[in-house]
Structure 1
Amino acid sequence: MTDSVRRLAGSARFALSADPLRAAFMIILTVLNGVAPVVTVWATGLTVDAMAQGRTTAAIVGALTTLLLAMAWSQLLPPVQTLVENDLGRAVELRAQQRSFDKINDLGGLANFENPEFHDRLRLAVSAGVDVPVQLLTSFTALVRGAITLIGFAVALFTVDWVAALLVLIAGVPRLIAETRLGRDRFALQATISPTERLSMMYAALQTEPDAAKEIRLFGLGNHFVGRMITEVRRAQKSTRRLDVRTAKLQSLLELVSLIPVAACLLLLVARTSQGTLQPGHVVVLLGALAAADGAMAVMATTLARINELSLVITRFDDLMSLTPDIPCGTGRPAPPLQSLEFENVWFRYRPDLPWVLRGMSLQIDAGTAVGVVGLNGAGKSTMIKLMARFYDPEQGRVLWNGTDIRDFDVESIRQRMGSVFQDFMQYDLSVRENVTLGDVTAEVSDDDVWRVLELVNLGQVVRALHRGLDTVISTMFLDAEDVENPDGAEIPRGSFFSGGQWQRLAIARMLLRLDRDLLVLDEPSSGLDPQAEHDLNEVVRDAARGRARVMVSHRLNTVRRADRIVVLADGRIVEQGTHAELMVLDGRYRQLFDLQSSGYVDDVPEGRRHPVSVEESTIGER
């Protein structure tokens, strides 16, 4: 109970502090709204008494005026309170969104984001953080309003018969117990169906996202995914319906039970009236009080149960706020300029129940050197990159920055000294300018800088041909903010599309804004490029990044063949390393991969046109 009160108090403080002025105004309106029904019933009784007792016209008019004012009070205040509550709710939502995503961005590693269970919890936590403070606020105001109304009518009932008043109050106890239990069931159901709801949303998104549209139509997968989506929706609905049926049965039973004390009160009222102890106005007041008090008790029981349920839901948001980052940001000292990056007997796996991805890997990368990393799929290449950027920490061994454990430095300062192109690079539905400048949002990047890197990746001419140049939104989902109209009045969307290779060039341009960094990491940077573009990219990066450490991961061996050192990974271990020439002479795995790729270039050459190629002269796909 203490924990519930503490959580509720914290949520209330959070909601009220979002906009103190509106919060104070809302409290005042809540009190006035709670009193309004009592005043209306009281004024009705005065009016009936004045008319029944044959009072003067002035007295009757005065009573009617009071009744009209009370009715106006009851009618005008609720819309005003709703407006204030909505404004306060918007302020709370903004603050909760800010807190939620500040916390998410404090999670410096990838362990949580690559964990499905975390995404189930995260969805519920973010929703709780945004919705619960507002719902708690509205529930609290409803509770206060109901309490004021109940107290007012209870006083009216007590003046007639304390037994009747007590019966009405007792009628609300079973409701409170039942609604509290139902609230706990609703809380448990949310966690149960969250994975199912996420699956149904995933299947729905597959049928609307441009990236999936080609395969879905080519393979005829639309009905297949519709079926899966409907299956998951039905599974979730089946669970919710079971609770709905139980709720309906229980609430119907409670309504019948609540009629018993109401009937007893009515019998008492009939008895008092037959004895002549009540005036007509008193009868009107008591009938109104009886119905209103019973309704107020029902509302309060439901509201109290809802508040109890919200106290459970808010724990999900509290759990997110108290989550310890796997890779903490803002701790440790700033990283100095890179002299060497070393993997020292590093062992790593993504979870204890999964196999090792890196097995005792040791590797040193010195400033100013280019290291190529090759190997089959699953060899550990991309995992090595993740450890370099400290998205994960090794389970055994160390990653050293200038001989010091990388964990001793602030992770953000490490990443500020890196530039990268990832294999699964992002395609931001933003303008060309933003897609480039996101590479360094901390710097003042001029349009000249943007055009410079676009020219380096051979996108300058393409972007100049776009209708809005750097301001053109590259997206299949969103339009530009500004539209033009045809002479016939039809609007033309201003967004544009890029091919996969052009998107990859744009990602490379983003990285080129960080060419002044100590360590450049290129993970399959040319996988979507044609041979000419690949060759040009290799030349650009080689020339522009001289003097800086470079790590190039690629299945295309011509991308790494000029590296100062080439590392061959297999099963999480370095099995070979050396220059291209040294590895060719070694005649090991690298030579096998190289010969396998080169065979595609020479098998179809007529015998008479073949000529021997030395190890030093072989270029595989380069111009």
Structure 2
Amino acid sequence: MIIITTLTALLSGACNAALIALVNTSLNNAKWSVAVLVGGFVALVLGKTITNILSQVLLARFAQGAVSGLRRDLTKRILGVPLRQVESIGTHRILVALTDDVFNITQALLAIPIITVNVAILVGGAVYLGLLSWKILLGIGVLVVFGGISYRIMMTSAFKSLNAAREEEDKLFSYFRALTDGIKELKLHRSRRKVFLAENIHDTTETFQKYNVEAECRFIYAQNWNHLLFYLLVGCVLFMMPKMGQVSHAAMTGYVITILYLMGPLAGVMGSMSLFGRASIALQKVEELGLSLAAASTEEAVINKTEREVPFRSLELINVQHAYRHEKEDTNFVLGPIDLKFGPGELVFLVGGNGSGKSTLAKIVTGLYFPEVGEIRWNGKRVDNSNRDDYRQLFSAIFSDFYLFDNLMGLNRPDLDAKAKEYLVQLHLDHKISVKDGKLSTTSVSQGQRKRLALLTAYLEDRPFYLFDEWASDQDPLFKDVFYTRLLPELKARGKTCFVITHDDKYFYMADRVIKLDYGKMEHLNQLDGEALGTLIPATR
């Protein structure tokens, strides 16, 4: 398609160049009849318009298709990268690539027909000037080469500024995310808000603006420098050519009209350099992100595999260890070694202080993090990259930083709406939220109610293993009691395994086992006598 688009754009440019010659011929009282000139004029105008429309429509389809494909490819790659690597790359880098970078690439692709038309006009105009006088065309060529070299020098500096601006944009997006995620903390602390605005947002936007202005100014200088050279060329034609030899009035008129006409297409080509410069840097950043994703990818984001019931007989962590660096600490935090086994219908509580490794263990159990040492066995079979995605289908999880979708996507049961309404009643949400065609009427409710909606999704998924990370922390006392004394026992009675991260010592008696993590080390507390409970409570509050 890109070849057809380029050819139609070149034809449009050729029609433009031919129009210049036709106009000059008409002005110089050509011997051709008026009917021939009018017919040629109409044909060239129609040809230019049709080919121009065709080239732009074709490229619009191609550009939007290419951009959609790029976004889909990046999304699929992100889904195929382990969670730890996605966290390391940074959400802000991914968001910039999927939004601004892809937008800049799109704008450059959409500009290709216009640039091609302008280039074709410039080439056609040069050919016409050569027909009038090849010696003068040669002199113009020397001037163009000089202008091109000086233009390139200016462009090099402009591209450096664009690159620096793009680096600042990564930082800016990270601050935008801090703004949305930390809006409550910023509103509550005036000094923090002041520093955030003055040092983070203000300084970064100032630097971003500075680099962009530098780049745009260099583009403007370069463009106007070339305009100056063109006017110099017009002056030479008007005042020096007659003194160098016999020049016909027709040739003089042709040169002046053609050069003045070509200034428009030249300005279009020069003006597009800023656009293509940004697109080039954006493409480089997207490729870097793609390479980072490809290098980190150890999984396949399977989407077409038929959903089936996942068998669960046992899950075992054998000598599992995982290391990562805590903030403001020079040494690595090591979780483990962990030896842990789960079976169907078990209710297991995990407790421990902040930073003890509870959430990390939850991500290892669910297959989101990989153990650096040891292994996970599912129904006696080792979990590795070949079966990790199948293993993850075992779990319905609600993490402390969960995301709530506004529809029940991926759940294709025929009685979805009816079952969802039944669970909404059970979760005391039927008076606020309804479900129609698998779509929730709203998700703009309190955090505790949002967690209940997440539990609704988990219920409908109906998987063998449930993980709740501090789920009850945002619930009122009444529903907290419902969760521990009714909902969890009901799941257990249905043969579901529940792994619950909690600080609610009041309900420890409900668990089959209580596991405590203390700075990455695990201990079992099977018998909760008075002494054990007394040592446990301080660690969890």
Instruction: Output the TM-score relative to the length of structure 1.
Output: 0.73
Match of 1:540 in 2: 487
Task: State the SS of the aligned residue for 2:140.
Answer: helix
Distance 1:97 1:289 in 2: 44
Q: Are 2:332 and 1:355 equivalent residues in the alignment?
A: yes
**Counterpart amino acid of 1:502?**
Q
Q: Identify if the C-alpha distance between structure 1 residues 320 and 223 changes in structure 2 by more than 3 Å, giving closer, same or farther.
A: closer
Can you list the C-alpha shifts for 1:5-59, whole angstroms capped at 9, x where unaligned? xxxxxxxxxxx4xxxxxx57644541232023312211112212227xxx6xx93
Distance 2:133 2:115 in 1: 25
* Identity between Structure 1 and Structure 2 (%): 18
Distance 1:306 1:532 in 2: 59
- Equivalences for residues 361-440 of structure 1 within 5 A: 361-407=338-384, 409-428=386-405, 430=406, 434=407, 437-438=408-409, 440=410
Task: State the SS of the aligned residue for 1:513.
Answer: helix
Task: State the SS of the aligned residue for 2:355.
Answer: coil
Shift of 1:350: 3.3
With 92-101 and 345-354 compared, the bigger mean Cα shift is at 345-354
Task: State the SS of the aligned residue for 2:461.
Answer: coil
Distance 1:502 1:93 in 2: 38
Shift of 1:288: 2.3
Q: 1:520 aligns with which of 446, 466, 479?
A: 466
**Counterpart amino acid of 1:591?**
G
Q: Identify if the C-alpha distance between structure 1 residues 549 and 26 changes in structure 2 by more than 3 Å, giving closer, same or farther.
A: same
Match of 2:456 in 1: 509
**Counterpart amino acid of 1:549?**
T
Partners of 1:521 and 1:552 within 8 A in 2: yes
Partners of 1:154 and 1:293 within 8 A in 2: no
Can you list the C-alpha shifts for 1:520-572, whole angstroms capped at 9, x where unaligned? 21111211112221121122221233333221110112344321111111000
Q: Are 2:105 and 1:137 equivalent residues in the alignment?
A: no
Distance 1:595 1:139 in 2: 65
- Equivalences for residues 416-565 of structure 1 within 5 A: 416-428=393-405, 430=406, 434=407, 437-438=408-409, 440-441=410-411, 443-463=413-433, 473-475=441-443, 497-515=444-462, 517-538=463-484, 539-546=486-493, 547-565=495-513
Distance 2:465 2:411 in 1: 18
Shift of 1:380: 0.6
Task: State the SS of the aligned residue for 1:400.
Answer: strand
**Counterpart amino acid of 2:23?**
T
Partners of 1:522 and 1:551 within 8 A in 2: yes
Q: Are 2:97 and 1:125 equivalent residues in the alignment?
A: yes
Q: Are 2:28 and 1:59 equivalent residues in the alignment?
A: no
Match of 1:238 in 2: 210
Shift of 1:389: 1.4
Distance 1:444 1:350 in 2: 44
Match of 1:46 in 2: 25
Task: State the SS of the aligned residue for 1:96.
Answer: helix
Match of 1:604 in 2: none
Q: Identify if the C-alpha distance between structure 1 residues 469 and 372 changes in structure 2 by more than 3 Å, giving closer, same or farther.
A: same
Q: Identify if the C-alpha distance between structure 1 residues 309 and 521 changes in structure 2 by more than 3 Å, giving closer, same or farther.
A: closer
Partners of 1:463 and 1:469 within 8 A in 2: no
Match of 1:34 in 2: 13
Match of 1:8 in 2: none
**Counterpart amino acid of 1:44?**
V
**Counterpart amino acid of 2:537?**
F
With 397-406 and 81-90 compared, the bigger mean Cα shift is at 81-90
Match of 1:615 in 2: none
Query: Number of paired residues?
Result: 525
Can you list the C-alpha shifts for 1:139-192, whole angstroms capped at 9, x where unaligned? 543443233222222222222332321233332422552365246325522442
**Counterpart amino acid of 1:567?**
I
Partners of 1:346 and 1:396 within 8 A in 2: yes
- Equivalences for residues 238-277 of structure 1 within 5 A: 238-257=210-229, 259-267=231-239, 269-271=241-243, 275=246, 277=247
Partners of 1:454 and 1:509 within 8 A in 2: yes
Partners of 1:343 and 1:361 within 8 A in 2: yes
Q: Identify if the C-alpha distance between structure 1 residues 266 and 119 changes in structure 2 by more than 3 Å, giving closer, same or farther.
A: farther
Shift of 1:374: 0.4
Q: Identify if the C-alpha distance between structure 1 residues 204 and 259 changes in structure 2 by more than 3 Å, giving closer, same or farther.
A: farther
With 371-380 and 243-252 compared, the bigger mean Cα shift is at 243-252
**Counterpart amino acid of 1:363?**
L
Match of 1:197 in 2: 172
Q: Are 2:86 and 1:113 equivalent residues in the alignment?
A: yes
Q: Are 2:234 and 1:288 equivalent residues in the alignment?
A: no
Q: 1:584 aligns with which of 521, 524, 529?
A: 529
Task: State the SS of the aligned residue for 1:583.
Answer: coil
Partners of 1:348 and 1:394 within 8 A in 2: yes
Task: State the SS of the aligned residue for 1:407.
Answer: coil
**Counterpart amino acid of 2:86?**
F
Q: Identify if the C-alpha distance between structure 1 residues 186 and 89 changes in structure 2 by more than 3 Å, giving closer, same or farther.
A: farther
Distance 2:114 2:353 in 1: 63
Match of 1:11 in 2: none
Over the residues paired in the alignment, what is the CA RMSD in angstroms? 3.8
Distance 1:136 1:240 in 2: 17
Distance 1:266 1:226 in 2: 58
**Counterpart amino acid of 1:317?**
V
Q: Give 1 or 2 for the bigger CA radius of gyration.
A: 1
**Counterpart amino acid of 1:111?**
R
Can you list the C-alpha shifts for 1:470-520, whole angstroms capped at 9, x where unaligned? 866324xxxxxxxxxxxxxxxxxxxxx4222222211112211233x2222
Match of 1:104 in 2: 78
Task: State the SS of the aligned residue for 1:521.
Answer: strand
Q: Identify if the C-alpha distance between structure 1 residues 178 and 292 changes in structure 2 by more than 3 Å, giving closer, same or farther.
A: farther
Return structure 1 stretches of 4+ with deviation > 6 angstroms: 333-336, 595-598
Unaligned 5+ residue runs, structure 2? none
Shift of 1:360: 1.8
Task: State the SS of the aligned residue for 2:404.
Answer: coil
Partners of 2:336 and 2:520 within 8 A in 1: yes
Q: Are 2:518 and 1:573 equivalent residues in the alignment?
A: no
Partners of 1:168 and 1:293 within 8 A in 2: no
- Equivalences for residues 156-167 of structure 1 within 5 A: 156-167=128-139
Task: State the SS of the aligned residue for 1:345.
Answer: strand
Distance 2:125 2:499 in 1: 78
Distance 2:540 2:71 in 1: 51
Distance 2:481 2:370 in 1: 35
Distance 1:347 1:381 in 2: 13
Q: Identify if the C-alpha distance between structure 1 residues 203 and 232 changes in structure 2 by more than 3 Å, giving closer, same or farther.
A: farther
Q: Identify if the C-alpha distance between structure 1 residues 410 and 190 changes in structure 2 by more than 3 Å, giving closer, same or farther.
A: farther
Match of 1:617 in 2: none
Instruction: Output the TM-score relative to the length of structure 2.
Output: 0.83
Match of 2:299 in 1: 328
Match of 1:620 in 2: none
Distance 1:304 1:230 in 2: 29
Distance 1:90 1:259 in 2: 39
Shift of 1:355: 2.0
